[in-house]
């Protein structure tokens, strides 16, 4: 009888003292915003930028043939995030121009989906080709150490600023600023949280601006 009582108490105690899950609502009600920049870049020397109007990039190992997300009546996400980026750039004093008007900066916006989760510090010692053709045919590279975060069945919204003013002789461009915002697949309110995250990305980057 006493053994049973102890056993019951043991099970009860284990049930109570087992590791509880953290409050998911608190964790998921805002995106993690990570920004990195080229400390050698002088953001005051740039005046104009270009950005897509209603299309953002899409990189997914689950859907390798889909490379863009297009604004539509069913999917208003592209325009929301693009307008949010544009609004922040305008507030900083930059002027948006068309891509054939020789802009100083190019802004890429894309979503990374369905990668394995890991974090890695990457040091700028290599070049890689532009992944979906928004770089005007240029390759691009990072000029500063940064942290990459990838996750399977999850996704990050990424905003990159490319330096078109200082294109290297072999047609590559520097990524002089980037923002990673995640996770966009577990959000409670995707549109609001994405807009808030983009605003926060610019707030925590006071070196941007003319």
Partner 1 sequence: MKIYLAILFIFSCLTVSAQESYFYLNWDVNVPMTNKDWIGNSSTRGAKAGYRHFIGDERKFAAGVDFNWSYYQEYKPTETFQNPGGAITTDYFNEIFQIGLVVSGQYHFPVGNREHFFPYAGLGLGANRNDYSVLYNIYQDQESKWGFLARPEAGILIRIGTRRKLGAMAAVHYDYSTAGSVNYDYNNFSNVGFQLGVMLMQW
**What residues make contact with partner 1 under the rule CB under 8 A?**
2-3, 5-7, 9-10, 13-14, 16-20, 22-23, 26-28, 30-37, 39, 117, 119, 144-146, 149, 151, 154, 182-183, 186, 200, 204-205
24: CB partners within 8 A, 6+ apart? none
- Minimum Å gap between C-beta 207 and partner 1 is 10
Closer to partner 1 by Cβ: residue 116 or 171? 116
- Minimum Å gap between C-beta 109 and partner 1 is 18
Closer to partner 1 by Cβ: residue 7 or 91? 7
Query: Would you mind telling me the total number of residues written for the chain in this entry?
Result: 210
CA proximity to 30, closest of 147, 175, 196, 157: 196
- Minimum Å gap between C-beta 13 and partner 1 is 5
- Minimum Å gap between C-beta 89 and partner 1 is 18
HEC string of 46-89? CCEEEECCCEEEEEECCCCCCCEEECCCCCCHHHHHHHHHHHHH
CA distance 189 to 30: 9
Closer to partner 1 by Cβ: residue 44 or 145? 145
CA proximity to 108, closest of 148, 147, 76, 67: 67
- Minimum Å gap between C-beta 53 and partner 1 is 28
Closer to partner 1 by Cβ: residue 164 or 198? 198
Q: Which two tokens stand for residue 63?
A: 């859907």
Closer to partner 1 by Cβ: residue 20 or 64? 20
């Amino acid at each position: 009888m006493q053994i049973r009582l102890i056993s019951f108490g043991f099970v009860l105690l284990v049930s109570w003292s087992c590791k509880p899950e953290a409050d998911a609502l608190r964790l998921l009600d805002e995106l993690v915003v990570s920004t990195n920049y080229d400390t050698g870049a002088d953001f005051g020397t740039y005046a104009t930028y270009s950005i897509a109007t209603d299309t953002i990039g899409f990189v997914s190992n689950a859907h390798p043939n889909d490379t863009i997300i297009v604004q539509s009546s069913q999917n208003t996400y592209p325009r929301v995030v693009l307008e949010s980026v544009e609004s922040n750039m305008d507030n900083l004093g930059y002027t948006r121009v068309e891509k054939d008007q020789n802009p100083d900066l190019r802004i890429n916006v894309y979503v990374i989906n369905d990668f394995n989760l890991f974090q890695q510090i990457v040091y700028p010692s290599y070049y890689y080709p532009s992944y979906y053709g928004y770089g005007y045919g240029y390759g691009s590279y990072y000029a500063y150490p940064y942290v990459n975060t990838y996750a399977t069945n999850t996704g990050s919204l990424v905003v990159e600023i490319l330096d078109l003013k200082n294109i290297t002789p072999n047609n590559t461009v520097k990524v002089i600023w980037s923002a990673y915002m995640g996770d966009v697949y577990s959000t409670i309110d995707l549109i609001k949280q994405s807009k808030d995250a983009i605003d926060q990305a610019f707030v925590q980057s006071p070196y941007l601006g003319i």
